[in-house]
Amino acid sequence: MSKKPKGEVHEVINALEHLSAQSGTRPDVVQNKRDCFQKLIRYMTQGIDMSAAFVPATKCVALSKHDLPLKKMLYLYLRTAAKQNAAVALLVVQTLLNDCKDLDPTIRGLAVRSMCSLRVPELMENVFQAVDAGLRDSHPYVREAAVMGVLKCFHQDPAGVRMRGLLERVDSLLSSDSDPQVVANCLYVLQQAGMLEGRVTRQLVISLLNHIRSFSDWAQCFVLELVSSYPPASEEERFDILEVLDFGLNHANSAVVMATAKLFLHYTLGFEQQHHQVLETLKDPLQTLIQGREAEVVYAVLCNFLVLAQRYPMAFSQLYPEFFCRYDDPSYLKALKIEVLIAIADHTNAYEIAEEMTQYVKDIDEDLARAAIRAVGQIALKVPDVNGILDRLLLFLGYEKDYVTAETLIQMTDVLRRYPDAAEACVESIAAIPQESIAEPQARAAYLWVLGEYGAQIQDAPYVLEAFADDFSLEEPPVKLALLTACIKLFFRRPPECRKALGSALAAGVADASQEVHDKALLYYRLLQQGAGAAQSVVDVQRPMVTSFADSLSAETQDRIFDELNTLSVVYRAPASTFIDAEQAAGRVEQDGLDMGAGAVGHKAEQESSLTQAQASLLDVSDSSAAAADGAATPPAAPAPAAVAGSGGGGLGGLDDLLSFGGTGAAPAAAAPPPPPAQQSAANLLGDLMGGAAPSAGAPASLAAAPAAAAPTGGGGLGGLEDLLGGFGGGGSAAAAPPPASGVELLPQPQLTPQEFQQSWAAWTPGQRAFNQPLSAAALASVEANGYKDFTAHIGQANVATFATPREGSATPLRFLFHAQAAGNGSRVLVQVTVSKSPPAAAAVVKSDSPEAAEHVLGLLQTLLLTL
Amino acid sequence: MESTTLWGYELPFPRQDLYVALIAVASFIPAVVLVNALVHGVLNIGGLILFVLSPRGDTIIFKDFRGNVPKTSTEVFFRKAKFWDGQDGKDAPPAFHVDGVQYLHVKVGGLYWVATSRENVSPSLALELLMRVHSICRDYFGYVSEEVIRRNFLLVYELLDEIIDYGFPQNSSTERLKQFVLMEPMIVKPRLPGGAKLPGGATGPTEVIKSVLDTDRTGAKEEIFVDIVEKLTAIFDAQGHQKSSSIVGAIQIKSYLSGNPPIRLGLSENLILGRRDARALSSYGSDSDAVMLDTYSIYEGVSAERFDAERVLELVPPDGQFALMNYRSSRSFRPPFRVYPLVEDDMYTGDKLTLYLRLLAEYPATKTATGVEVTVPLPRSVVRVHCETDAPNESKLLALPGKGAFEQAADWRERDRKLVWSLKNLRGGREHTLRCRLTVEPGTVESTKRDYGPIMVQFVLPGKPSASGLDVRYMKILKEEKNYAPSRWFRVVAMANSYQIRPH
């Protein structure tokens, strides 16, 4: 307990005792009492146990019955004191019960609220009594408190609440009470108690909507959320509801506007024309909020808006001046506005936006300047008409500020990958940058990349490389990797001049402490041993022009965030599952919660599945980096987003020239699914090379650790490739394998409760089995057809029963839960199947208490998925 | 019962508990109001703790509604928000999460108002709720500052108790609160010298400081304030051409009328609302002196039909301050200020420049702007700045005390790399020039010329007509009572929202 001197407590108690002896009606005495109570509460809130003051305090108040503020203070004191000292609560309960019958509704309401907050188990009986009477009270203030009291009781003693039918009473109040706040509280309590599931009927919705304007702002938001989960019976009803709620869009409270906007957008999802009308109507209210409100409110609005802008960039392209930064905007708002500008940039406004960004680049705020340069770079990538915008980047190079130069260089490399034709104009200016003004590793790497690619056009490129190579050991690993590549590439163009640079870089590289650098240098070295021609054919290949860069968020994630509009998901740009503590949510059994398994396991499973998915497909590079970005839940800091080349194995090739070797190597393997043994050995060789190369893949392009880069070096790359090939081989062999003859028979109609499922799912994690299988487009379509019923029936043929399916129309990945029970020993098998769309694949996790049963079901599933 | 600890103090409170803790962590760290309105739910309403922290990190108010957020949340919040991104002085975004706890905050009245939650709440809802708590405090105490909240902490708890019950926001209208909240506010007179801006007082220029309760309880003078506040956004190039402009305005009302009688306001008759009206107008081919508002939103209690037809707003004003109408206008306006920058090389030395700023007050002499501030960011190449204002003692020379008097000062804030030229009072029609000698690093003359700016202007300019042309023609208080003549105050104020001159 606190070490505060006892003296203060005594002082207060003495004062109270002294005051309680005086007549309670004199104004000066009342004032003294209030002052004394204020002191009492101040000490109490500092954590000092003031329960000793209980007797004089109550006496004091008893003699000044008519002073309500004093009474309120006493209740405030009692709530805490009762918890510190249950005996106190027992003494005071009679007073509270009396107050529950007071003539003044304020006192009755106060008493009910205070009683429900006491949380002393011995008093529950009295609390129920008070709540019961409160629900019947004639004054809405008391009923409001009593309704909330039911929920407080429910959390302490659910059985007691059920026994007394209090929730049913609340339910009947919901349909009969005339006070909007009481109704809102009823709704809230029922929803919290889980009694509203399936109760949002047409009748309820209509009566709520008819009175919606009499609710407080907050209750309106709550009702809007409820209504948005209600599926209208007919098209007519749908648009009637929208008409009723139209007022919400011009509300002064942004929370109401956002809730209304969400409902409008989700309601019109299936109706394209109306959907676009909604977007159109949203513009005005959003502008009013963005221009007229406090920065914090604007931030929340803009976070939602950004999701919309990324989804429908065309709809908002003309609003761009609204998102120009103000000088007194807080930094978070400026960054967000720039994001929005990038999202809505198109050929109609790109020039103006770039013009505005140019102003920000001059700003003394470095972060703003960098964000502006990034924006110009991204707009250049997005809007094909690159001329004016590329010039701006060149202009920035002339600003002679180190951070501006650095950021511009990084952006420049991306632009050059996208528009190789622009190189002519840029290379000269880049070459003119004094080398010592490029300090940041990422910028140095970008600079070296340009030297390597376009060194033929730069007079003294070999000597610059030489200078770099001489100080090889002083550089950061990403710079070293870029330097190695630049040296070897330029070597093929200008062999005599580059010999020295390449030699010293390779020597230093092979001796380097960093595994990645070492491996890459060694790879080049060995390639060169095979002859320069051979090495050139591997390293110096014609790169396909990059036409699009991977979005930082996958389409599925973006859909999920759109579903979760007007929640924190839009702020963090990640689905709720990534930042909401699953443990807290685990208590609630609902479909969405269930498919994640219990608690933290679910979280892990999801990450796992996104990784395994990525491995299952050839085009995995972009996917896995996207998954990594998802996991990190932050906008990727990667200066150069992982590049995705147009086709086939190019997905690997875009990342780095070396990988293009891997890509072309892998492509033939992919073309012939069951690899003949001869090719297998070739693949091994290939794997060996990849072993050196793969780990370095992520690093030069981005510091954001893509899974590939994080994998153990050496063996990691090889393993990756084997996986790749194994995926194909595995698929083939499973199809050819005879039906498993394990002798396990499954019961036709297994039974399982959600709780059992959750517990077992968590308990059986060790020993789980998993597999991935690519799906054809037709198979994918059949999964989605008919509200997943065809798919579940298909699985059901094998006596594997469906446990849960996603909601119809959910965004991919779709998650299904199945379960089965063996006939012999009754052991259970639980299955989660995740179907993803791009690339089309199914990933299954099988858990069971019996390994044979799990194996059996695994085999069955593989066959079933193949025969979809 | 399990106990928890808070700043090392053991609190013998049970887990599910509604309690109030007021903690001053250390005397040198100021404070927070913390309200925890914890609401569980699929429906994303809440799950909030609410607290108020002073800029130094003291907890001023802490209210936990549900008890499922760790009690150390105030510390966690403050550490994270204060050193956002590892830097002191960066603004933390209004929403972030640490260890599965969501922190949402607004920074008003010089305090952090924070709500915490474990649910995926609606950020708009949580932030608006915090804003509402702040504005209720403002209505009750006249203005909000750390001291005001400290002195009235019990009343704040009482208010919170009524505004939020068990994490679910209740009706927060002032009428309801007046009925059930009983403690008297302790009015703290601001200590700042007259005229200075109150912390967080930037929301409205109505400087009257009194509690909404005064009228009913102490019989103070009945009065109502109607302000048209317009914030101007404009960008000019070096030649003074206006490249873009817009107005964001609000009709703000601060009402101290006992018994809340209805009022009626008549707005300009030539008011054209929204794009639809504008289209109709253009078909007449008229671009007269009509007042055009692009978008607007009106206080919920106003009958929309009457407004559409007659431009009349009829409503029952709630106590305290509220926005009757928010609007935007993209109509171009006559810029009240112009600034012409000019940079001259020094003929004799290679490291000196002279920057001239010419400031023109282009409004009628009947108006006087206050708090005019011209800010010029200067690049890092600038080493020294020496400023000369024109005729600093002009007031003496003109021997016109009072209206003609003005004070001006120019200040080089090296840390922020900003040159700030401030003029306390500036009467319409005047012109001033600031001359600055800049010493730059050798060889950076050209880049300095290129990199200074943009120049920003701040001002408060009271007086009709408003920039958008919007006006209140009349205001009637609809109360049938003899000798009922409450004071009616009416003002028009223009302020800078983003008023920039881009020299390049």
Task: Indicate the residue among B148, B180, B212 that finishes a domain.
Answer: B180
CB burial string A185-206: b at 16+ within 10 A, e below: bbbbbbbbbebbeeebeeebbe
**Is A250 in the B-facing interface, judged by CB distances under 8 Å?**
yes
For residues A161 and A153, is the Cβ–Cβ distance under 8 A? yes
Q: Looking at the complex, report in whole angstroms how far the Cα of residue A213 sits from the nearest Cα belonging to chain B.
A: 9
- The amino acid present at A788, given as its one-letter code, is Y
**Is A27 in the B-facing interface, judged by CB distances under 8 Å?**
no
d(CA A636, CA A626): 9
* Co-location of B14 and B127 in the same domain: yes
Closest by alpha carbon to B270, among B438, B471, B435? B471
How many other C-beta atoms are found inside a 10 Å radius of the C-beta of residue B397?
Answer: 9
Q: Which of A141, A213, A251 sits opposite B180 (nearest CB)?
A: A141
* Co-location of B156 and B30 in the same domain: yes
B120–A564 C-beta distance less than 8 A? yes
- Domain containing B248 equals 204-333+469-494
Among residues 550-569 of chain A, which lie with CB inside 8 Å of chain B? 564, 566-569
Residue B481 lies in a domain: yes
Measured between beta carbons, the chain A residues lying within 8 angstroms of B326 are 252, 288, 292
SS3 B4: strand
Hey, what are A216's tokens? 């407080």
* Co-location of B407 and B327 in the same domain: no
Q: Tokens 């990525």 appear where?
A: A614
Lowest mean pLDDT: which of A325-329, A368-372, A423-427, A587-591? Answer: A587-591
* Co-location of B425 and B318 in the same domain: no
* Co-location of B42 and B148 in the same domain: yes
Closest by alpha carbon to B436, among B486, B396, B386? B386
Q: What is the pLDDT of residue A669?
A: 36
Which H or E element spans position B355?
Answer: strand B352-361
For chain A, what percentages of helix, strand and coil (3-state, to nearest 5) are there? 70, 5, 25
B294–A364 C-beta distance less than 8 A? no
* Co-location of B320 and B369 in the same domain: no
* Co-location of B219 and B148 in the same domain: no
How many other C-beta atoms are found inside a 10 Å radius of the C-beta of residue B229?
Answer: 21
SS (H, E, C) A444-473: HHHHHHHHHHHHHHCCCHHHHHHHHHHCHH
How many other C-beta atoms are found inside a 10 Å radius of the C-beta of residue B258?
Answer: 15
* Co-location of B322 and B371 in the same domain: no
For residues B113 and B133, is the Cβ–Cβ distance under 8 A? yes
**Is A395 in the B-facing interface, judged by CB distances under 8 Å?**
no
Q: Which of A155, A303, A580 sits opposite B120 (nearest CB)?
A: A580
Among residues 83-102 of chain A, which lie with CB inside 8 Å of chain B? 83-84
Maximum Cα–Cα distance across chain B:
82
Which H or E element spans position A485?
Answer: helix A477-493
Task: Indicate the residue among B113, B147, B180 that finishes a domain.
Answer: B180
Q: Looking at the complex, report in whole angstroms how far the Cα of residue A645 sits from the nearest Cα belonging to chain B.
A: 34
Residue B503 lies in a domain: no
**Is A35 in the B-facing interface, judged by CB distances under 8 Å?**
no
For residues B143 and B212, is the Cβ–Cβ distance under 8 A? no
Residue B350 lies in a domain: yes
* Co-location of B309 and B421 in the same domain: no
Hey, what are B341's tokens? 């920058």
A72–B13 C-beta distance less than 8 A? no
SS3 A739: coil
Q: What is the pLDDT of residue B471?
A: 87
A117–B453 C-beta distance less than 8 A? no
Q: Which of B62, B128, B298 sits opposite A253 (nearest CB)?
A: B128
Measured between beta carbons, the chain B residues lying within 8 angstroms of A225 are 43-45
Closest by alpha carbon to A724, among A781, A787, A652, A809? A652
**Is A41 in the B-facing interface, judged by CB distances under 8 Å?**
yes
Interface pTM (ipTM) of the complex? 0.82
Listed in order, strand segments (DSSP E) in A732-786 are 769-774
d(CA B105, CA B127): 7
Distances (CA, A) of A697 to A478, A512, A515, A854: 11, 17, 13, 37
* Co-location of B137 and B31 in the same domain: yes
Distances (CA, A) of A524 to A365, A484, A507, B338, B401: 43, 8, 11, 64, 84
d(CA A828, CA A817): 13
A285–B100 C-beta distance less than 8 A? no
A145–B131 C-beta distance less than 8 A? no
Residue B489 lies in a domain: yes
Distances (CA, A) of B268 to A450, B167, B292, B470: 63, 44, 11, 6
Closest by alpha carbon to A465, among A475, B57, A61? A475
Distances (CA, A) of B306 to B134, B242, B266: 32, 37, 11
d(CA B361, CA B367): 10
Hey, what are A673's tokens? 């699914």
d(CA A493, CA A502): 12
Measured between beta carbons, the chain A residues lying within 8 angstroms of B250 are 292
Among residues 308-367 of chain A, which lie with CB inside 8 Å of chain B? 321, 326-328, 330-332, 359, 362-364
For residues A618 and A517, is the Cβ–Cβ distance under 8 A? no
- The amino acid present at A40, given as its one-letter code, is L
d(CA A625, CA A95): 65
For residues A302 and A315, is the Cβ–Cβ distance under 8 A? no
Of residues B457 and A689, the one with the higher pLDDT is B457
* Co-location of B286 and B363 in the same domain: no
Helices and strands (H and E) in chain B: how many = 10, 29
**Is A520 in the B-facing interface, judged by CB distances under 8 Å?**
no
How many other C-beta atoms are found inside a 10 Å radius of the C-beta of residue B443?
Answer: 10
Characterize the bridge pairing of strands B271-273 and B291-293. parallel
Q: What is the pLDDT of residue B219?
A: 60
Q: Looking at the complex, report in whole angstroms how far the Cα of residue B54 sits from the nearest Cα belonging to chain A.
A: 17
* Co-location of B304 and B403 in the same domain: no
d(CA B316, CA B477): 10
Dihedral over alpha carbons A710, A715, A721, A723 (to 10 degrees): -90
Lowest mean pLDDT: which of A573-582, A677-686, B166-175? Answer: A677-686
Closest by alpha carbon to A63, among A30, A15, A100, A96? A30
Measured between beta carbons, the chain B residues lying within 8 angstroms of A300 are 94-95, 123-124, 127
Helices and strands (H and E) in chain A: how many = 45, 7
Distances (CA, A) of A670 to A244, A603, A617, A725, A847: 57, 32, 10, 8, 31
Q: What is the CATH number of the domain that holds B91?
A: 3.30.450.60
Task: Indicate the residue among B180, B213, B247 that finishes a domain.
Answer: B180
pLDDT tens for each residue of chain B, 504 residues long: 333 333 333 333 322 222 222 222 222 223 334 443 333 222 233 344 567 777 777 777 777 776 666 667 778 888 888 777 766 667 889 998 888 788 888 888 778 888 888 888 889 998 999 898 888 888 888 888 888 888 888 888 888 888 888 888 887 877 788 888 877 787 777 654 444 343 333 334 445 667 776 665 556 678 888 889 998 989 888 788 888 888 989 998 888 887 788 888 888 888 887 665 555 555 444 455 678 888 888 887 787 777 877 888 888 888 888 888 888 888 788 899 999 998 888 777 778 889 999 999 999 888 888 889 999 988 888 888 888 887 555 544 454 444 444 577 888 888 888 899 988 888 888 888 898 888 988 878 888 888 887 899 999 898 888 888 888 888 888 877 777 778 888 888 898 888 999 887
Measured between beta carbons, the chain A residues lying within 8 angstroms of B9 are 1-2, 46-47
Q: Looking at the complex, report in whole angstroms how far the Cα of residue A192 sits from the nearest Cα belonging to chain B.
A: 6
- The number of residues making up chain A comes to 868
d(CA A504, CA A445): 18
For residues A517 and A655, is the Cβ–Cβ distance under 8 A? no
Measured between beta carbons, the chain B residues lying within 8 angstroms of A292 are 248, 250, 326, 328
Q: Tokens 């030069």 appear where?
A: A700
SS3 B140: helix
d(CA A577, CA A257): 25
| Ordered domains of chain A (ranges, CATH) | 6-227 (1.25.10.10), 548-570+619-736 (no CATH), 754-866 (3.30.310.10)
Closest by alpha carbon to B376, among B299, B302, B452? B452
For residues B61 and B30, is the Cβ–Cβ distance under 8 A? no
d(CA B183, CA B185): 6
Among residues 649-688 of chain A, which lie with CB inside 8 Å of chain B? none
Using only the alpha carbons of chain A, give its radius of gyration.
34
Mutating which of B5, B96, B168, B322 best tests the A interface, going by the most A Cβ atoms within 10 A? B168
Q: Looking at the complex, report in whole angstroms how far the Cα of residue B304 sits from the nearest Cα belonging to chain A.
A: 11
Q: What is the CATH number of the domain that holds B244?
A: 2.60.40.1170
Q: Looking at the complex, report in whole angstroms how far the Cα of residue A411 sits from the nearest Cα belonging to chain B.
A: 22
The tens digit of pLDDT for each residue in A164-183 reads 888 899 988 988 888 999 99
Hey, what are A15's tokens? 């004062």
Q: What is the pLDDT of residue B276?
A: 54
Mean pLDDT value across chain A: 74
Mean pLDDT is highest, among A326-330, A829-833, B193-197, B454-458, for B454-458
A579–B97 C-beta distance less than 8 A? yes
Q: Tokens 């194996």 appear where?
A: A855
Q: Which of B125, B170, B328 sits opposite A255 (nearest CB)?
A: B125
d(CA A281, CA A288): 12
Q: Looking at the complex, report in whole angstroms how far the Cα of residue B431 sits from the nearest Cα belonging to chain A.
A: 25
**Is A4 in the B-facing interface, judged by CB distances under 8 Å?**
no
Measured between beta carbons, the chain A residues lying within 8 angstroms of B245 are none
Q: What is the pLDDT of residue A140?
A: 92
For residues A393 and A412, is the Cβ–Cβ distance under 8 A? yes
**Which residues on neighbouring strands pair with residue B251, listed in sequence order?**
B228, B325
| DSSP state letters, A182-203 | HHHHHHHHHHHTT--TTT--HH
Residue B188 lies in a domain: no
Structural domains of chain B, count:
3
Q: Looking at the complex, report in whole angstroms how far the Cα of residue A448 sits from the nearest Cα belonging to chain B.
A: 27
Helices (H), B369-500: 394-398, 445-451
Listed in order, strand segments (DSSP E) in A620-761 are 643-644
Closest by alpha carbon to A278, among A290, A269, A289, A287? A269
Using only the alpha carbons of chain B, give its radius of gyration.
26
The distance from CA A175 to its chain's CA centroid, rounded to whole angstroms, is 38
B68–A584 C-beta distance less than 8 A? yes
Closest by alpha carbon to A275, among A242, A320, A226? A242
B105–A292 C-beta distance less than 8 A? no
The tens digit of pLDDT for each residue in B325-374 reads 888 888 788 899 999 998 888 777 778 889 999 999 999 888 888 889 99
B299–A252 C-beta distance less than 8 A? yes
Which H or E element spans position B495?
Answer: strand B487-502
Measured between beta carbons, the chain A residues lying within 8 angstroms of B500 are 327
